Structure 1
């Protein structure tokens, strides 16, 4: 059966059916997994290939159950449905971890004969055997039980942490003078109350314009302070326990710390390599960052003569001021060319043209009226379905990310994925356009990589420190004058001028080293909280940010409580810069132009379509014709 003939996931059309969908579908899939495991452990006549095929059936069921539950837990507007979905996430994760501790299941694969298996099947067998060992199957009974308890608790705490972030929206009020400098459409959307005050929130639609345009330093500090204290104090004990749980689990499994456990399956290879890589970033960016910082401080002192340091509440505002005053790039002018209702179809058109895809709108029930769904076609054949949920609302995931929904398995399951973002319905900042391209990169990777035989290798299933590289590469299309001309327009219907885009590219180089330092701060927090497990999370986090960048954190706040990546990325936030090193090198393969058809086809074939069926190093080498290097990143950083 071709993917074109596969039925996509059908969502309920009413509230009562959603409650059944959220509870019953995962339960049905878990029952199916239990039946598969019973057959695996009771039928010694099965060949190795038959065992792997049954394991694949279970992988499909678990992936469907988990992905659907995660999306509903982060996006469904009904808090009861979100709560039910969270419970199903815990149930599926618990079954998944318990299977890795099951000695009877392990015996099915421990000494399985790989003779006669093709490369993909042999690769799957190796991964399954590795997963069992990482799960703790070789431990004695009491330690296996303790690992199971810790794994379940990790899931429970991670869900609680994310829920607190999702529900952590805060408001601040400022005098009307405090919104001076903000775009007129923003001012119009934030009326003054009877007391002469304006209410601002920590949602991205307020946060990003305020930090970029608010002339009032007090306003910027107030909003950034509220944002940095989201989910605090609720997440303080949650994170402290989560770090302890992960440390104990890593120790029981024979690893020195959680970073060592996580990196065993990643490109970087070992936890000790994380600080080594971060040290390399430190050395590469230090001199340029100090030069940039001096210019920021000088500009800040024009507004605040007594200022002794640039804080994170000043960072984006000062970058924008310098780019406007010294590079002739006015961010408010730039945003006038990016109305959301042109950006969304523009991203679809550009990526479709680049990758040989068509996005056909489909009118189907989803979890919210904001969601728009599309069948993804190539050469007229449906190869997947995507769902775009792009605007903020109460109780929804607060950042921007791609979530898998259905694991693509050739001839069996149509790949589906979801974008959860928080874009304005009006004009977008150019940074938001870049984010849109970035997240769409994950989306197309998930669909194009979703024609695998084995669910384990479907979609975005590469090593986790490579997974950002294709998305970071696609950001470049948001900086290309020809690409932007194809979909941008201001109120007069004029596309963004090429000379303005050229100025934007030049101006973008300023502040690049400081942005690397900011990312270095996130990576240091991610790593050291997990490895050092400080008793005072606030003091340790503030110190790590303060020593990572000359741009200083706001004192006394608790940004770690809202640092959502601490759950999924754990100790490995270094991933973003590691992937960026590769992305900058991948870009060199597009020497014939970003829209060159032959290069795009080769990129699709060598990087995206294999999913996780090959090691990331091999994917990159197949596209570039050589191993990747640090050189392109170093050149970009020093531009």
Structure 2
């Protein structure tokens, strides 16, 4: 049998326009053929296994086509291609949700949901059958016809609004203009790259390569405040009405489907909602957030006065620390208390060394090689690699790592092709916005984090069913492998392999140790910041406030002693409100697991036995087993809260 080949991308604009038009059409045609055959399942005598194989064929076609055009809607440099791709996403997602409302498609699977029908199925087939039946129920197939029609309309509109929200954010870019002296404290290379214009002012944008250094290094508080304020108003007012409608629509949809709230609907399929039923999972989010509040409150209350005292050294009249001060003050305290100069640290991390360093580190850890391939992609910035083990191509990755106009403006992994053994080579991409020169250590950590998603997608992409391919576990587990991989960005031996200072020497181990010690201060405040995001995500969906601005500012104010900038609209640029919905709690839930998974390495991050066990028990199964079972297999026990508490409090 001929080995499957990766996707071949176009080489010109006409080719891309055809790609966006023709590949979704081929998928839609394939789905129509499958659905016709499923409609004849009883007549043709198809057994349960054959019905599941047909469903998998359609699922694979839909998932791959949707992933391809979704990536292009966020990354292609041509606006017409992005727009056409976005239309195709809408079309494909409408088809996917509509199938779950079709009683004629549901019937072939309901008919085999019997002891006799399940009897010949193996465990993985039974798992797929259970999830297909659950999807139909969650999709509204059991509702009366009029209510199914309403669900269909709401689902289509939900997709349309989510895409509009993301598009507004992607295309939103703000600028501030400041006097050259307002760049005091910033690295000289940054200053050199930002000369004054004809008006004598320097332009700073909300793109990450400007935003991140300014908020961390600028000694001028007005400069920090101005750029953070601009960032906190991204996609406003455009997304104000979009989000208001989205929240109302999601609640109506959840109610129609028999759930108390959108949070209840979302958590049913996640670790936190297991066994909670249709009206219990959302409450568990609130319980988890309350637990985070309890464990972090005292430590954050102890850290905050230190920040305020340091701010008053610069600004004697300051009455509160704001989000525009946080990163600058943490950097100042790390430099003054622990001799950790963030600009010195940054001097060791050039992008041209970090990229091969991340590849080499993860390659050694996961027993793979990344072989560069010269293939067409959507932009000249993209680096493409085949992921190879012992001569076998396991998948292909694409790294699109620098900002440009019209591109996704955060950092994320985008699946492209869900891997099916013998049929489809798994393929995925990173879209990030890193500097082309020196990188902050935070950027390096983010690179490791996102690369964790990437390798999970590829190594978990040798599955039998598309449903379980790649990053297909419960959605509140998917961040755990990525958060775990961040730890490699803090290991002195790892960093020594790819860093180089001005004289070519690697970053000193004692400096890395100082960085780790310094990082412990402010950890509780960072958890409170994340808790603020989680509270906003949850309460906007559950409370559905009439005044989004006031409610968002309220939750940030009551969650953290670090104040939000007043009167701004960060919810309009909160991209996770589309993909994560009410469930931003996921990041801390996954971090609890990640801190526990770390214990499985016994203090040696490059231990080959632990790495092999981790790869086989956590990454390679994809979604073929429950996340709790994956953790049990790696740790030999269920995950616990203890390691997270110790990491947070030092106790």
In 2, Cα distance between the equivalents of 1:285 and 1:495? 35
Counterpart for residue 32 of structure 1:
30
1:158 and 2:162 equivalent?
yes
SS in 1 for 2:224: helix
SS in 1 for 2:272: coil
In 2, Cα distance between the equivalents of 1:132 and 1:505? 48
Counterpart for residue 553 of structure 1:
564
Counterpart for residue 146 of structure 1:
150
1:61 and 2:61 equivalent?
yes
Alignment of 1:204-223 (within 5 A): 204-223=208-227
In 1, Cα distance between the equivalents of 2:258 and 2:343? 54
Of the three residues 602, 608, 611, the one matched with 1:600 is: 611
Counterpart for residue 78 of structure 1:
78
Counterpart for residue 539 of structure 1:
550
1:108 and 2:105 equivalent?
no
In 2, Cα distance between the equivalents of 1:104 and 1:186? 61
1:414 Cα deviation from its structure 2 partner: 0.3
Counterpart for residue 89 of structure 1:
89
1:111 Cα deviation from its structure 2 partner: 2.7
Counterpart for residue 256 of structure 1:
260
Counterpart for residue 185 of structure 1:
189
Counterpart for residue 323 of structure 1:
334
1:75 Cα deviation from its structure 2 partner: 0.1
1:20 Cα deviation from its structure 2 partner: 0.5
Deviation string for 1:349-377 (max 9, x for gaps)?
Answer: 00000000000000000000000100000
Of the three residues 126, 132, 138, the one matched with 1:134 is: 138
1:496 Cα deviation from its structure 2 partner: 0.1
Counterpart for residue 428 of structure 2:
417
Counterpart for residue 600 of structure 2:
589
Alignment of 1:14-33 (within 5 A): 14-33=12-31
In 1, Cα distance between the equivalents of 2:505 and 2:287? 48
In 1, Cα distance between the equivalents of 2:622 and 2:587? 19
In 2, Cα distance between the equivalents of 1:111 and 1:216? 69
SS in 2 for 1:460: coil
Of the three residues 40, 43, 49, the one matched with 1:42 is: 40
SS in 1 for 2:416: strand
In 1, Cα distance between the equivalents of 2:41 and 2:556? 56
Of the three residues 502, 506, 519, the one matched with 2:513 is: 502
Alignment of 1:400-479 (within 5 A): 400-479=411-490
In 2, Cα distance between the equivalents of 1:594 and 1:171? 42
1:209 Cα deviation from its structure 2 partner: 0.2
1:238 and 2:242 equivalent?
yes
1:194 Cα deviation from its structure 2 partner: 2.6
SS in 2 for 1:360: strand
RMSD across aligned C-alpha pairs, in angstroms? 0.7
1:171 and 2:180 equivalent?
no
Equivalent pair of 2:371/2:387 in contact (CA under 8 Å): yes
1:374 and 2:385 equivalent?
yes
Equivalent pair of 2:41/2:108 in contact (CA under 8 Å): no
In 2, Cα distance between the equivalents of 1:148 and 1:589? 46
1:592 Cα deviation from its structure 2 partner: 5.1
TM-score, with length taken from structure 1: 0.99
1:289 and 2:300 equivalent?
yes
Deviation string for 1:133-188 (max 9, x for gaps)?
Answer: 00000000010010010001010000000000001101000111111000011000
Deviation string for 1:40-70 (max 9, x for gaps)?
Answer: 0123111100000000000110011100011
1:195 Cα deviation from its structure 2 partner: 2.5
SS in 2 for 1:31: helix
Structure 1: which 5+ residue stretches go unaligned?
none
SS in 2 for 1:398: coil
Query: How many residues end up aligned between the 2 structures?
Result: 637
Equivalent pair of 2:118/2:126 in contact (CA under 8 Å): yes
In 1, Cα distance between the equivalents of 2:4 and 2:501? 41
Counterpart for residue 276 of structure 2:
none
SS in 1 for 2:355: helix
1:23 Cα deviation from its structure 2 partner: 1.2
Alignment of 1:512-527 (within 5 A): 512-527=523-538
1:364 and 2:369 equivalent?
no
Counterpart for residue 228 of structure 2:
224
SS in 2 for 1:272: helix
**After TM superposition, what 4+ stretches of structure 1 lie above 6 angstroms from structure 2?**
none
In 2, Cα distance between the equivalents of 1:110 and 1:492? 68
